[in-house]
Structure 1
């Protein structure tokens, strides 16, 4: 049910953190992996890491905010492996500032990467999946697409937008045999959150928001992404699955 042998997965922002962890989880279930990112050195290191785990992987330098770039990454995946069965729409960033201090450039950088990038990658993948009459699109959202929080103006707006794209695409693409869902992680210990979590008092407050009394780890996302990528989720679409230790349920 969870076997992905013969499937091909494209993971945007797959060279580190959540993206790389998800690439590894899918690869360990047999999927061919294509990771994308902007940093050539990070991509090379990630590809090598996946290879050490026995995973067949390709790395493509790509910018999700550039339509031609992400379309080329999709084409590369199909050329190398014959199909594109899974998209993990993961590339993202955050600039934490109070509302009155957010610069227009801050807003544009976050929304372009987190929302426009999701749209462009999803559109490119959907065109291929429609031709195949099958596919799984997994958008990576956040608890801040579901709940409020300070200093998250552009980030929360972009993640809320991802949730709505997920619902719209799920209905639109269902007739083509394509499932669309989202994962909304809570605070996961990654390179992206490392400096933010150095504040021990702040970290304890974050832990206090969870029911399980801890922050998330990358391994906590392995099960959800494999579920949504596999035949085990063939009657699940249009859903936002929170992986947050109970944060958003309070």
Structure 2
């Protein structure tokens, strides 16, 4: 039986890497992203190798749109059994320049968006008495980060949310874990580099104990394990896939 996996932020970066891995694992995969065209392109490419995929354009910051998206997944593929919440935004703003609007938007997408997706997916998991949830948080929430108070706070909330999910949902056969990456070479990271928010990717990569930036495939490999039968006794954990950058 092929399980149904939903990946948010799946049109590029970590989310796309996870979607590709899940196809290799034999799952039916729904790719959710605010860039519907890019999600469709990715879904069609994966379908061309025989996978059953679905692309849905959705902004996870819109709760009603999230619910409609999961209804669409249910109709096309079946109940969601696996959820990876990779959709997120980042920005670099000094604390005293942070506006209430910037703060609210960051939390609406990164934290409330994660919550909305989980809330939409969990009923099917409870009914099946089986489920896997992996949230993508950030090591910035563990270490703090200058000019990113709003981002670090939103991702810290994701870590707390995930631990609470693990406690509440364990009796239903559902696991919940979070992966907080450090440096991953993604289009979003490259945009941050181009905008001057972070030093060069190569500069930071040299500081990583393993000597390189992470890749979407690195994160996807961990998701693959956590969402498998073999990962069924791992829940409520912060799984650091970071090359030793944060220990």
In the other structure, the counterpart of 1:225 is 223
In the other structure, the counterpart of 2:39 is 43
Q: Distance in 1 between matches of 2:5 and 2:17?
A: 13
TM-score by length of 1: 0.92
In the other structure, the counterpart of 2:125 is 129
Q: What displacement does 1:115 show?
A: 0.3
Q: How many residues align?
A: 245
In the other structure, the counterpart of 2:110 is 114
Q: Distance in 2 between matches of 1:103 and 1:163?
A: 24
In the other structure, the counterpart of 1:215 is 213
Counterpart selection for 1:157 from 127, 146, 153? 153
Q: Which moved more, 1:174-183 or 1:122-131?
A: 122-131
In structure 2, do the counterparts of structure 1 residues 32 and 204 end up closer, same or farther at CA, with 3 Å as the change threshold? closer
Specify the SS of the correspondent of 2:230.
Answer: helix
Deviations 1:56-78 (A, max 9, x none): 11011222122221112222222
Q: Distance in 2 between matches of 1:219 and 1:197?
A: 21
Any stretches of 5+ residues in structure 1 without a counterpart? Answer: none
In the other structure, the counterpart of 2:240 is 242
In structure 2, do the counterparts of structure 1 residues 79 and 167 end up closer, same or farther at CA, with 3 Å as the change threshold? same
- Contact kept? 1:95, 1:106, Cα under 8 Å: no
Specify the SS of the correspondent of 1:234.
Answer: coil
Q: How does 1:16-35 map to 2 (within 5 A)?
A: 16-35=12-31
Query: Which structure dedicates a bigger proportion of its chain to helix?
Result: 1
In the other structure, the counterpart of 1:190 is 186
Any stretches of 5+ residues in structure 2 without a counterpart? Answer: none
Q: Distance in 1 between matches of 2:128 and 2:240?
A: 29
Q: Distance in 2 between matches of 1:201 and 1:231?
A: 40
Q: What displacement does 1:121 show?
A: 0.5
2:40 counterpart of 1:55: no
- Contact kept? 1:23, 1:33, Cα under 8 Å: yes
Specify the SS of the correspondent of 2:143.
Answer: coil
Q: C-alpha root-mean-square deviation of aligned residues, in Å?
A: 1.7
Q: Distance in 1 between matches of 2:98 and 2:50?
A: 44
Q: Distance in 1 between matches of 2:142 and 2:199?
A: 24
Q: Distance in 2 between matches of 1:135 and 1:75?
A: 17
Q: Distance in 1 between matches of 2:201 and 2:59?
A: 32
